[in-house]
A = this chain, B = another copy of it.
Amino acid sequence: MGEIISVFREEHFNAAHRLNNALWSDSKNKEVFGKCNLPNYHGHNYILIVKVTGEIDENTGYLIDMKILSDIIKEQVLDRFDHKNLNIDVPEFKALNPTAENIAIVVYNLLRPLISELLSLQIRLYETPRNFVEYPAK
Protein backbone atom coordinates (compact mmCIF):
# COMPACT_ATOMS: atom_id res chain seq x y z
CA MET A 1 0.00 0.00 0.00
CA GLY A 2 1.26 3.50 -0.82
CA GLU A 3 2.09 6.20 1.66
CA ILE A 4 -0.58 8.75 2.67
CA ILE A 5 0.31 12.22 1.40
CA SER A 6 -1.29 15.58 0.56
CA VAL A 7 -0.88 17.50 -2.68
CA PHE A 8 -1.84 21.12 -3.28
CA ARG A 9 -2.68 22.97 -6.49
CA GLU A 10 -2.96 26.78 -6.66
CA GLU A 11 -5.24 28.52 -9.15
CA HIS A 12 -6.42 32.14 -9.50
CA PHE A 13 -9.63 33.90 -10.49
CA ASN A 14 -10.69 37.54 -10.59
CA ALA A 15 -14.28 38.37 -9.69
CA ALA A 16 -16.60 41.11 -8.49
CA HIS A 17 -18.84 40.73 -5.45
CA ARG A 18 -20.77 42.59 -2.78
CA LEU A 19 -21.78 41.47 0.70
CA ASN A 20 -25.47 41.83 1.51
CA ASN A 21 -28.21 39.95 3.39
CA ALA A 22 -31.43 40.40 1.45
CA LEU A 23 -33.49 39.79 4.60
CA TRP A 24 -31.98 42.83 6.30
CA SER A 25 -32.60 46.57 5.90
CA ASP A 26 -30.11 48.69 4.00
CA SER A 27 -28.94 50.35 7.18
CA LYS A 28 -28.41 47.01 8.92
CA ASN A 29 -26.43 45.72 5.91
CA LYS A 30 -24.33 48.88 5.85
CA GLU A 31 -23.68 48.60 9.58
CA VAL A 32 -22.60 44.95 9.41
CA PHE A 33 -20.74 44.81 6.11
CA GLY A 34 -19.36 48.36 5.89
CA LYS A 35 -17.66 49.18 2.59
CA CYS A 36 -18.08 45.54 1.48
CA ASN A 37 -21.79 46.42 1.15
CA LEU A 38 -21.31 49.31 -1.30
CA PRO A 39 -23.98 48.89 -3.99
CA ASN A 40 -21.96 48.80 -7.20
CA TYR A 41 -19.65 45.90 -6.26
CA HIS A 42 -15.91 45.72 -5.78
CA GLY A 43 -13.60 42.81 -6.58
CA HIS A 44 -10.66 40.63 -5.79
CA ASN A 45 -7.90 38.49 -7.26
CA TYR A 46 -8.93 35.32 -5.46
CA ILE A 47 -6.20 32.71 -4.87
CA LEU A 48 -7.52 29.17 -4.53
CA ILE A 49 -5.42 26.32 -3.12
CA VAL A 50 -6.98 22.87 -3.42
CA LYS A 51 -5.56 20.20 -1.09
CA VAL A 52 -6.13 16.51 -1.85
CA THR A 53 -5.05 13.77 0.56
CA GLY A 54 -4.79 10.02 0.06
CA GLU A 55 -2.60 7.12 -0.92
CA ILE A 56 0.19 7.48 -3.51
CA ASP A 57 -0.17 5.45 -6.69
CA GLU A 58 3.08 3.49 -6.64
CA ASN A 59 3.15 3.10 -10.41
CA THR A 60 3.28 6.84 -11.02
CA GLY A 61 4.54 8.27 -7.75
CA TYR A 62 1.57 10.63 -7.99
CA LEU A 63 -1.29 11.05 -5.56
CA ILE A 64 -3.28 12.53 -8.42
CA ASP A 65 -2.13 13.89 -11.78
CA MET A 66 -1.82 17.65 -11.15
CA LYS A 67 -2.83 18.34 -14.76
CA ILE A 68 -6.10 16.46 -14.23
CA LEU A 69 -6.69 18.23 -10.91
CA SER A 70 -5.99 21.59 -12.55
CA ASP A 71 -8.42 20.79 -15.38
CA ILE A 72 -11.18 19.86 -12.91
CA ILE A 73 -10.67 23.14 -11.02
CA LYS A 74 -10.71 25.04 -14.30
CA GLU A 75 -13.97 23.48 -15.48
CA GLN A 76 -15.81 23.60 -12.18
CA VAL A 77 -14.54 26.87 -10.69
CA LEU A 78 -12.53 29.11 -13.00
CA ASP A 79 -14.82 28.82 -16.01
CA ARG A 80 -17.78 29.70 -13.80
CA PHE A 81 -16.24 32.36 -11.49
CA ASP A 82 -13.37 34.02 -13.36
CA HIS A 83 -14.12 37.54 -14.67
CA LYS A 84 -17.66 37.19 -13.34
CA ASN A 85 -19.85 39.00 -10.84
CA LEU A 86 -20.40 36.38 -8.13
CA ASN A 87 -23.71 37.89 -6.95
CA ILE A 88 -25.24 38.16 -10.43
CA ASP A 89 -23.55 35.57 -12.63
CA VAL A 90 -23.07 32.57 -10.32
CA PRO A 91 -26.34 30.78 -9.38
CA GLU A 92 -24.95 29.43 -6.10
CA PHE A 93 -24.78 32.98 -4.73
CA LYS A 94 -28.29 34.08 -5.69
CA ALA A 95 -29.38 33.43 -2.11
CA LEU A 96 -26.00 33.02 -0.41
CA ASN A 97 -23.75 35.89 0.64
CA PRO A 98 -20.44 35.57 -1.30
CA THR A 99 -18.12 35.89 1.70
CA ALA A 100 -14.77 34.12 1.47
CA GLU A 101 -16.21 31.50 3.83
CA ASN A 102 -19.19 30.78 1.60
CA ILE A 103 -17.14 30.83 -1.62
CA ALA A 104 -14.82 28.19 -0.11
CA ILE A 105 -17.79 25.97 0.78
CA VAL A 106 -19.29 26.37 -2.70
CA VAL A 107 -15.93 25.49 -4.30
CA TYR A 108 -15.68 22.41 -2.06
CA ASN A 109 -19.17 21.28 -3.08
CA LEU A 110 -18.41 21.80 -6.78
CA LEU A 111 -15.18 19.79 -6.65
CA ARG A 112 -16.13 17.03 -4.20
CA PRO A 113 -18.17 14.90 -6.69
CA LEU A 114 -15.31 14.96 -9.21
CA ILE A 115 -12.55 13.80 -6.87
CA SER A 116 -12.31 10.08 -5.98
CA GLU A 117 -14.09 9.13 -2.75
CA LEU A 118 -10.79 7.61 -1.62
CA LEU A 119 -9.29 11.09 -1.44
CA SER A 120 -10.11 13.79 1.08
CA LEU A 121 -10.39 17.42 0.00
CA GLN A 122 -9.76 20.81 1.59
CA ILE A 123 -10.09 24.31 0.14
CA ARG A 124 -7.98 27.36 1.04
CA LEU A 125 -9.19 30.65 -0.43
CA TYR A 126 -7.37 34.00 -0.21
CA GLU A 127 -9.66 37.00 -0.68
CA THR A 128 -6.72 39.33 -0.08
CA PRO A 129 -3.13 38.57 0.90
CA ARG A 130 -4.12 39.20 4.53
CA ASN A 131 -7.58 37.52 4.69
CA PHE A 132 -8.09 33.86 3.91
CA VAL A 133 -10.17 30.83 4.91
CA GLU A 134 -9.96 27.02 4.97
CA TYR A 135 -12.84 24.57 4.60
CA PRO A 136 -13.39 22.11 6.05
CA ALA A 137 -11.51 23.11 9.21
CA LYS A 138 -9.01 20.57 10.41
A7-B132, A82-B35, A131-B7 known; A41-B41 Cβ under 8 A: yes
Q: Tell me if A5 and B42 are in contact (CB < 8 A).
A: no
Q: Does A115 count as interface, using CB distance less than 8 angstroms?
A: no
A4-35 CB contacts (< 8 Å) to partner B: 4-12, 14-17, 19, 21, 32-35
Q: Are A16 and B16 in contact (CB under 8 A)?
A: yes
Q: A41-B43, A89-B40, A131-B66 are in contact. Are A61 and B101 (CB under 8 A)?
A: yes
Could you tell me the distance in whole angstroms from the C-beta of A14 to the nearest C-beta in chain B? 5
A43-B16 in contact given A8-B131, A67-B34, A137-B5 (Cβ < 8 Å): yes
Q: In the complex, which residues of chain B have a beta carbon less than 8 angstroms from the beta carbon of A129? A: 10, 12, 45
| CA distance in complex: A98, B130 (Å) | 25
List chain B residues, Cβ under 8 A from A60: 21, 32-33, 97, 99
A38 within 8 A of B: yes
A14-B135 CB under 8 A given contacts A21-B59, A40-B84, A101-B62:
no
